[in-house]
C-alpha cells in the first residue's frame, strides 16, 4: 500500500511517499510562501519516482493531507489532483484518527497533535510525552493504553523572539543561536539564553508533570524544526522523529485502506 502524505503546518509544508508505512527518503519541506513555486515540481518528482513501483501492484496509491491551515488545504488538494490524478483525502474530515482520548473538547485539537501522538505510540508501544518544537512549542501526553490525554501549548523559539522584539522597544531580534554561556553577557546573549531556558524549562516541567500523572517516566519523543537545536543537548529526549506527523498521516490512511471503505478516487 502506497500513499502520498502531505503535512500542512503553520510555517511549512512537508511531503513524502510511503509504502507499507515506510519511506525511502526524508520528507521534503518548504515554507508556506513557496508552495506555489516549489510544491508542484516536488509532487511530480515524488509521483514519478514511485510510479514504477506501484504500476505493477495493486491497489493503486492514494494521497492524504493533514492540515492546520484550513485556507491552504483546498489549494494543495487541487495541486495533488491535477498533478497526480488522485483526489486526496483529508485527515480529520474524510479519515478519522483512530485514537481514543480523554479531552473535554476534541474538536478543537489540531490533527497534527493527534497524529504525532498516534505515531509515537505505534512506534514505542508505551506511554509517551510528545514534544513538537516548531512555530509553537507543544508538549502532549499519551498513556500506556494508547489514550491521548492532552497537553500544553506555548510559544516556539521564533514566536517568542518575535514577540519580544515587537513589544519591547529596545530589544533587537534574537539570533536563536543555542546559548553556550550560563549567563548572558550582552543583550543578544541574554535574549537567546532566556528563550532557550524558558522553552527547555517548560518542557522539563511538563514531562515531569506527565510522569507524576502516569506513575512512571514516559518515553520522550521530539519532532519539529527546532527540536534538535532546542533539546539535542539536554539528554531529555529518547527519540527524535522528524517526520512524526507525516508518518501519522500514512498510518491513518493505511488503517482505513485495510478496512472496508471506498477506494481512493482518481480523476
Q: Do 100 and 74 meet the contact criterion of CB atoms below 8 Å apart?
A: no
Give the 3-state secondary structure of residue 202: helix
Q: How far apart are CA 103 and CA 124, in angstroms?
A: 22
Active-site residue, from 112, 140, 143, 243: 112
Q: How far apart are CA 98 and CA 70, in angstroms?
A: 21
Q: How far apart are CA 64 and CA 67, in angstroms?
A: 10
Region label for 208, one of left (φ > 0), alpha (ψ between -120 and 50) or beta (otherwise):
alpha
DSSP assignment, residue 45?
Answer: H
Strand locations in 109-218, DSSP E? Answer: 128-133, 136-142, 148-155
Q: Do 20 and 57 meet the contact criterion of CB atoms below 8 Å apart?
A: no
Show the cell assigned to 197: 531556558
Q: How far apart are CA 142 and CA 219, in angstroms?
A: 10
Longest dimension (CA), the chain: 63
- How many alpha carbons lie under 13 Å from residue 124 in its C-beta half-sphere? 26
- Residue 112 catalytic? yes
Helix or strand holding residue 156 (H, E): none
Q: How far apart are CA 162 and CA 121, in angstroms?
A: 33
Show the cell assigned to 211: 510522569
Q: Which residues are catalytic?
A: 112
Amino acid at each position: 500500500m502506497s500513499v502520498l502524505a502531505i503535512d500542512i503546518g503553520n510555517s511549512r509544508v512537508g511531503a513524502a511517499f510511503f509504502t507499507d508505512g515506510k519511506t525511502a527518503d526524508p520528507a521534503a519541506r518548504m515554507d508556506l510562501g513557496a508552495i506555489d513555486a516549489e510544491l508542484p515540481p516536488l509532487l511530480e518528482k515524488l509521483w514519478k519516482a514511485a510510479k514504477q513501483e506501484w504500476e505493477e501492484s495493486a491497489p493503486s496509491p492514494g494521497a492524504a493531507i493533514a492540515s492546520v491551515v484550513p485556507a491552504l488545504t483546498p489549494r494543495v488538494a487541487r495541486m495533488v489532483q491535477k498533478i497526480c490524478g488522485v483526489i486526496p483525502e483529508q485527515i480529520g474530515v474524510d479519515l478519522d484518527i483512530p485514537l481514543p482520548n480523554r479531552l473535554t473538547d476534541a474538536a478543537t485539537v489540531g490533527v497534527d497533535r493527534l497524529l504525532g501522538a498516534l505515531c509515537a505510540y505505534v512506534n514505542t508501544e508505551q506511554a509517551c510525552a510528545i514534544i513538537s518544537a516548531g512555530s509553537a512549542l507543544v508538549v502532549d501526553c499519551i498513556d500506556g493504553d494508547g489514550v491521548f490525554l492532552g497537553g500544553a501549548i506555548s510559544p516556539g523559539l521564533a514566536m517568542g523572539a518575535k514577540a519580544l522584539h515587537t513589544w519591547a522597544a529596545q530589544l533587537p531580534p534574537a539570533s536563536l543561536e543555542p546559548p553556550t554561556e550560563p549567563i548572558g553577557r550582552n543583550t543578544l546573549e541574554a535574549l537567546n539564553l532566556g528563550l532557550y531556558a524558558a522553552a527547555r524549562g517548560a518542557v522539563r516541567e511538563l514531562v515531569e508533570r506527565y510522569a507524576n500523572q502516569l506513575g512512571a517516566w514516559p518515553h520522550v519523543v521530539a519532532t519539529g524544526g527546532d527540536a534538535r537545536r532546542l533539546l539535542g543537548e539536554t539528554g531529555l529526549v529518547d527519540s527524535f522523529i522528524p517526520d512524526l506527523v507525516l508518518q501519522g498521516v500514512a498510518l491513518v490512511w493505511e488503517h482505513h485502506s485495510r478496512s472496508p471503505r471506498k477506494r481512493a478516487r482518481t480523476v
